[in-house]
Structures are given as structure tokens and as C-alpha cells.
């Protein structure tokens, strides 16, 4: 892992305390900066859990209950990032200590635990949540007690809180690029939209439908199944009847496994791309449960795949496997979770303070050149500029990257004309 994090000069940089500036100037004596932290009074004026040599943060994910399947990877990524930051000397000369709380896949528990982290523990930042429901549950708490949440999951957008940094993609970043690609590269004309029945797939499909219709193409069907649904034979027959060019799928959780297994069993060979399956919900994590042979040939539209070959990612994958075991896989959200502590560190250093308000003011414009996905930048709307990639699933459970957007895509959580 390269050890430099470049931060764009921002307005707040000029407000840095003089001591920081002089330390930064003494770059040759970098070790000095580690041993002589800035005085406590300067970096923490609001009574956060910061001491002369430590700073406490919270990790809030489900490690029990149904969401543990998905959130485990995020916890691992956040811990790895924190350990790496500590190995480099911490943040403003202070080692990060984390307090981990279990949201237990239960949204009121998330709210209660976030209150505990902010009020009792007075943590400087929280890395956590996974489902939109859990984020919505903690949002009022973070806004009331002025906390800072780094939220890793790709999600439906339509939200922008001063107390949240969204390190995953919002829906338009993921969907528009995916559909544009499939239209251009595969000459797709007709689409069938399928999702689990809750807010993220419904919002995503709404955006997808508007975009498809704007392009003058046709949506031949749109269907939702309850979360946890395990029988997809009827919908597969509908595919066979309507013969769409593309099945646009946002099925989640255990349903995912059932859907792809049954698709395969019904004789739809996805490698033939008739129809082509384009998903926005299957990361490498999900393929572990689905089985590579059952999803071989499907395409996914996301910002990160484990198979990315840039230097940052090679180092990241190596470090992740060394820390958490060789047979582990890393999906889109796991990588986004890994960005959280790094973005926070960069913002704190730019602000020269742990104070939430100063970190918030310093956050827009923070860049990370060491991100495994390449390069990301925080937008004033608290989402990240990022590239979207198209991956083609292979039997070994990895994606082969077939396309990458040439430019960073601007996050647009309130897309006009798509609501």
C-alpha cells in the first residue's frame, strides 16, 4: 500500500493551525510528526473521545442476523483500513481505536447502538450500516447528535445528509452507465426489469425504465418478488415468452441464489447472452453463495471488482487476504467500506481537527489516489465521484472487466427527470 494520500488544497487548508503547517513543512522528519502530536485542545474542541495518543471511532454493522452475510466483509475492510492507518502512525499522530457494535440486522438496534456510540462513547466517526433501512434508522440520531457516518453500500440515492459520507455509488452512477454500455456494445433493444420488492430495486428500476425510454428503447416487463422468495420458475417462463434482449436484475439476498440456480436449470445459458443478464446486485460475495458455475456469463455494473489490475488494488487484495484468509473474496461494498477510514483520515488531516463540523467542511474535494478502485473524490453532495465498470462473471467466481467508463461519473443523488 502506497503511503501518501494527497489532499486537494481546500478552503479549510488555510485555516490549519500553524503547528500543523510547520510539521508539514518538516517533511524530511516525518517521524517527528508521529511522535509529537498536535495538542489536544487544538484538535478536539467538542469533547470527542480523543486523547493525546488515541482517537476512538465506531464500527456499526450486523454481525448476527440475516444481514451478517453481507456486512461481514465491510467490517473486515474497515478493520484492515484502520490497522493500516495505525501502522502508518495514525491520524494527526493518534492511533485509531475502534469500538464495534452489532446492529443485529434489526433497524431499531442500529439506532440504539448509534446513539450509544455518539452519546456515551463520543466517537469521532462511525463506519457502518449496510441496508438503506438501517441507514434511515440511524440518520436522525446522527443529525441530532452531530455525528459523522461513512456509509459503504451502493444505494437508491434521494438522500443527502450533512452527517453522512456515502462511499458507495448512488443509483444513477451504477445504472445509467450499465444501460448505456449494454445498448452500445450489445445492441440491446428490449429490457425486462426484475427486482426484490423494496425501495432500492424499485427506485433503481424506475431510473432504469426512464433511461431506457429516453433512449427510445422498450421495457417489456417489470416484476418484483418479496424478499426471501425462492421460486422463480414463473418469471423464467415470462422471460421465455417475452424474449427480452436484457434481463436487468436487482434481486438480493438468498433470493439471488435461487434465481440464478433456477435460471441455469431452466436452460438459459447466460454465456450465450440470449437474453443477456445485467445485474446491479451481485458482487463477488454473492457469487460465493450462488456458485460461479450458476452465474457464468452474467454481466454486472459496479464501481469495483476484485479483478481490477491497478497497483492499488493488487496491494489491497494482497493485504486483505493476508489479514482475513486466502479464500476470501472482495466485493464492491467491501471496497467502499475500506475507503471510509481513509477518507475520514484525509478529511481530518485537511481540517487539522477531529471536530465534526471542521471535518465536514474539509470533506468536499478530498481525493484518494490510493483507493483500490483507482481514484475517488468527494463531491460537495457527500457522494463520491467514481468510475463504473462492467464485469463478466466467470466460473471461478470472479468478474472479467470488459468495460470502464472513461471519465469519473458525477454523483447525482437527486437525478432530475428520473423521479
Partner 1 sequence: MFADYSTSELMSIFAMQGFAGLILFSVFVLMALGLAIIFGQMGVINMAHGEFMILGAYVTYLTSNVFADYMPSLFGSYFFIAMILAFIAAGALGMFVEWALIRHLYKRPLDTLLATWGLSLILQQIYRSVFGAREVGVTLPDWLMGSIQLTDIVEVPINGIFVMSLAITISLIVAILMYKSRWGIQVRSVVQNRPMAGAVGINTARVDRLTFGLGCGIAGVAGSAFTMIGSTGPTSGQLYIVDTFLVVVFGGAQSLLGTIASAFTISQAQSTMEFFLSGSMSKVLTLLFVVGILMLRPQGLFSLKVRR
What is the contact surface with partner 1 in residues (CB under 8 A)?
Answer: 63-66, 68-69, 72, 197, 222-226, 228-231, 233-238, 240-241, 253-254, 256-258, 261-262, 264-267, 285-293
Closest distance between partner 1 and the C-beta of residue 229, in Å?
6
Burial 371-388 (b: 16+ CB within 10 A, else e): bbbbbbbbbebbbbbbbb
- Name which of 120 and 271 has its Cβ closer to partner 1: 271
Rounded to whole angstroms, the Cα distance separating 161 from 141 reads 12
Instruction: Tell me the CA distances in angstroms from 168 to 218, 244, 339, 362, one per residue in order.
Output: 29, 30, 9, 19
The C-alpha atoms of residue 45 and residue 355 are separated, in whole angstroms, by 7
Q: Which cell goes with 406?
A: 472513461
CB nearer partner 1, residue 283 or residue 353? 283
CB of 341 to partner 1, least distance (A): 21
| CA angle (73, 248, 210) in 5-degree steps | 115
Between 240 and 274, name the residue whose CB sits nearer to partner 1: 240
Least CB distance to partner 1 at residue 330 (A): 12
Q: Of the two residues 213 and 293, which places its CB atom closer to partner 1 in the complex? A: 293
Taking the C-alpha atoms of residue 207 and residue 175, their distance in angstroms, rounded to an integer, is: 8
Closest distance of CB 136 from partner 1, Å: 21
Nearer Cβ to partner 1 (236/319): 236
The answer to whether residues 164 and 60 touch, using CB atoms and an 8 Å cutoff, is no
CA 207 – CA 174 distance, rounded (Å) = 10
Nearer to partner 1, 3 or 231 (CB): 231
Euclidean distance between CA atoms 184 and 18, whole angstroms: 54
Q: How far is the CB of 76 from partner 1 (least distance, A)?
A: 11
Residue 223 C-beta: closest distance to partner 1, Å: 5
Amino acid at each position: 500500500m502506497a503511503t501518501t494520500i494527497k489532499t486537494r488544497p481546500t478552503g479549510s487548508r488555510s485555516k490549519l493551525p500553524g503547528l500543523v503547517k510547520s510539521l508539514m513543512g518538516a517533511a524530511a522528519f516525518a517521524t517527528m510528526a508521529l511522535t509529537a502530536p498536535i495538542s489536544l485542545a487544538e484538535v478536539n474542541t467538542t469533547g470527542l473521545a480523543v486523547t493525546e495518543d488515541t482517537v476512538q471511532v465506531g464500527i456499526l454493522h450486523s454481525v448476527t442476523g440475516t444481514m451478517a452475510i453481507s456486512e461481514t466483509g465491510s467490517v473486515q475492510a474497515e478493520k484492515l483500513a484502520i490497522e493500516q492507518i495505525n501502522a502508518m502512525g495514525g491520524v494527526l499522530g493518534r492511533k485509531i481505536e475502534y469500538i464495534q457494535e452489532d446492529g443485529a440486522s434489526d433497524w431499531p438496534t442500529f439506532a440504539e447502538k448509534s446513539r450509544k456510540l455518539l452519546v456515551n462513547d463520543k466517537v469521532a466517526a462511525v463506519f457502518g450500516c449496510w441496508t438503506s433501512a438501517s441507514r434511515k434508522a440511524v440518520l436522525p440520531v446522527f443529525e441530532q447528535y452531530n455525528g459523522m457516518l461513512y456509509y459503504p453500500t451502493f444505494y437508491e440515492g434521494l438522500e443527502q445528509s450533512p452527517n453522512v459520507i456515502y462511499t458507495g455509488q448512488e443509483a444513477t452512477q451504477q445504472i445509467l452507465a450499465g444501460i448505456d454500455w449494454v445498448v452500445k456494445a450489445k445492441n440491446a433493444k428490449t429490457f425486462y426489469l426484475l427486482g426484490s420488492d423494496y425501495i432500492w430495486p424499485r427506485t433503481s428500476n424506475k431510473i432504469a425504465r426512464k433511461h431506457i425510454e429516453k433512449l427510445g428503447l422498450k421495457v417489456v416487463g417489470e416484476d418484483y418478488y418479496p424478499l426471501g422468495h425462492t421460486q422463480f420458475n414463473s418469471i423464467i417462463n415470462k422471460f421465455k415468452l417475452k424474449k427480452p434482449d436484457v434481463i436487468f436484475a436487482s434481486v438480493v439476498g438468498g433470493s439471488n441464489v435461487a434465481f440464478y440456480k433456477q435460471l441455469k436449470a431452466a436452460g438459459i445459458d447466460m454465456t450465450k447472452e440470449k437474453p443477456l443478464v445485467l445485474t446491479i446486485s451481485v458482487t463477488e460475495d454473492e457469487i460465493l453463495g450462488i456458485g460461479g458455475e450458476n452465474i457464468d456469463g452474467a454481466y454486472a455494473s459496479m464501481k469495483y471488482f476484485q479483478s481490477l489490475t491497478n497497483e492499488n488494488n493488487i496491494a489491497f487484495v494482497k493485504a486483505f487476504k493476508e489479514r482475513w484468509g486466502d479464500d476470501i473474496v472482495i466485493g464492491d461494498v467491501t471496497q467502499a467500506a475500506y475507503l471510509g477510514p481513509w477518507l475520514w483520515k484525509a478529511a481530518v488531516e485537511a481540517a487539522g481537527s477531529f471536530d465534526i463540523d471542521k471535518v465536514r467542511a474539509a470533506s468536499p474535494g478530498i481525493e484518494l489516489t490510493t483507493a483500490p478502485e483507482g481514484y475517488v473524490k468527494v463531491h460537495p453532495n457527500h457522494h463520491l465521484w467514481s468510475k463504473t465498470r462492467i464485469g463478466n462473471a466467470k466460473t471461478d467466481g470472479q468478474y472479467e472487466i470488459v468495460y470502464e467508463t472513461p471519465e469519473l461519473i458525477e454523483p447525482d443523488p437527486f437525478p432530475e427527470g428520473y423521479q
